[in-house]
Amino acid sequence: MSETLKIILMIFIVIGALFFALRITGWKMKKAADFIIRDLKLKKAFDPASAIELPYTKGRLLHIGLRDYRPRAIEELLKQDIVRMVEGGQYYLCDEYKLKGPDDGSGT
């Protein structure tokens, strides 16, 4: 096999690995966002009066184990106005998103 072909093949492998890593990260972010939405639905946090504190939104000083995507996912949900935050670091689900999105796990 020629050197040029080996270099081109290696470039494709590196691009494929990068694409695969980005897909996995996106999938984990979506899974974390679905978890947050389901958590807010189960705790019936639908307005500022029923807003709840989410313990996993605070950063940890010592990271042991796998990466936690929930803090980054809550930032994205806030940007997209799916979740809203009130003073004191409490979160609730936006009115338009109460009825759609991932179910509450009840199977209905």
Amino acid 107: pLDDT: 45
Q: 58 or 102, which is more confident?
A: 58
Count of beta carbons in the 10 Å neighbourhood of residue 42: 11
Q: What predicted TM-score, i.e. pTM, was given to this entire model?
A: 0.74
Q: What is the pLDDT of residue 13?
A: 97
CA 28 to chain centre: 7
**Cα–Cα nearest to 90, from 54, 42, 61, 39:** 54
More reliable by pLDDT, 19 or 106: 19
As a whole number of angstroms, the distance between CA 36 and CA 102 comes to: 10
- Indicate if the pLDDT at residue 84 is higher than 80: yes
59 has pLDDT over 70: no
> Given a cut of 90, is residue 30 above it in pLDDT?
yes
State residue 29's pLDDT score: 93
Q: How many CB atoms lie within 10 A of CB 92?
A: 21
